[in-house]
Amino acid sequence: LTQLFRPLDMLGWVYRTVQQGLIDMAEMFRLIDTPIEVADLPGAPALVVRDAGIVFDNVHFGYDPDRMILHGLNFTVEPGERIAIVGPSGAGKSTLARLLFRFYDPQAGRILISGADIRTVTQASVRAAIGIVPQDSVLFNDTIGYNIAYGRAAATPAEVTAAAMGAAIDGFIERLPQGYHTQVGERGLKLSGGEKQRVAIARTLLKNPPIILFDEATSALDSRTEQNILTTMRQVAEHRTTLTIAHRLSTIVDADRILVLDQGVLVETGSHAQLLRQAGLYAEMWSRQSVEQADHAAV
């Protein structure tokens, strides 16, 4: 009988592990139905991040090889640089981020982190090096403290509090009747979009990764909340390499460099001022968004 149950046990374990993995993935990019397509090479070592530089070297990728999405992306991100990735809907911004996190391998070209081709090291070590602040975090039906510590279960209460401070959500939590023990999620306290994003920032701070991927919320938070989140993100970004997938250009004007993607091609690169002077796609998107914002403000 035990023989019979062992496979079932194993299946349960695999199921739980996969499910946990999927929660992480869904949290990132709403990827819940994404198949797991990549595997570690036998004996692959862990990635050692000496410097958090990133290279996309002639990366070609399509979810389906008959429909390529990224057409030979080339760019280098220096350690500590703050990069924004912008472009029209469907340009390939999230796809680029998924490749960096190694959900998929490119059909051609290479992605390097700290000089290592990410196909030659373990996926777990690649994912450990990258912290993600998704646009809409999944909260577990558990305490807010658990939700912050998720991903580093061994964190001490003092570390959880420090992370909450770093994400500027400590005051909010301390004012809750049960503090860090307050239940959140569907069956508990509902958090606003901004508060959820702060929980995600706190989680990322606990993880303390050298690279951060910030997926800006598509729907605007109210402008004060957004400004506060951006200020927090700027602090978090210090001494780290950060990539922000941005929808509102007003939030990334001070990025070190902006990569403009269009239909899977990197069409422009530069600072906000440089790109405005180029009078290309970025300048066009900027003037369109400025008009929209003015219209919005006039309502």
Element (H, E) at 54: strand 54-61
Restricted to residues 191-210, the positions that interact with ligand ATP (CB under 6 A) are none
* Residue of 286, 211, 201, 212 lying closest to 251 (CA atoms): 286
In the list 30, 44, 94, 138, the residue contacting ligand ATP (rule: CB under 6 A) is 94
Q: Collapsing DSSP states into helix, strand and coil, what is residue 83?
A: strand
Cβ nearer to ligand ATP, comparing 37 with 222:
37
Binding ligand ATP by CB under 6 A: which of 87, 109, 145, 166? Answer: 87
CA dihedral of 72, 130, 38, 115, whole degrees rounded to 10: 60
Tell whether residue 89 is a contact of ligand ATP (CB under 6 A): yes
Q: Least separation, in Å, of the C-beta of 259 and ligand ATP?
A: 11
**Window 270-289: contact mask with ligand ATP (x via CB under 6 A):** --------------------
91 binds ligand ATP, rule: CB under 6 A: yes
Question: Could you tell me the end-to-end alpha-carbon distance of the chain, in angstroms, rounded to an integer?
Answer: 70
| Cα gap 96→76, rounded to integer Å | 13
Minimum CB distance to ligand ATP smaller for 87 or for 145: 87
Buried/exposed 69-84: b ≥16 CB within 10 Å, e otherwise: bbebbebebebbbbbb
Which range of residues in 3-11, 85-93, 153-161, 167-175 is near ligand ATP by CB under 6 A?
Answer: 85-93
Note whether 69 binds ligand ATP by CB under 6 A. yes
Alpha-carbon torsion 89, 92, 97, 99, what sign?
Answer: positive
Structure tokens at 222: 């109210």
| Smallest gap from residue 244 Cβ to ligand ATP (A) | 13
Residue numbers of the site for ligand ATP (CB under 6 A)? 34, 63, 69, 87, 89-95
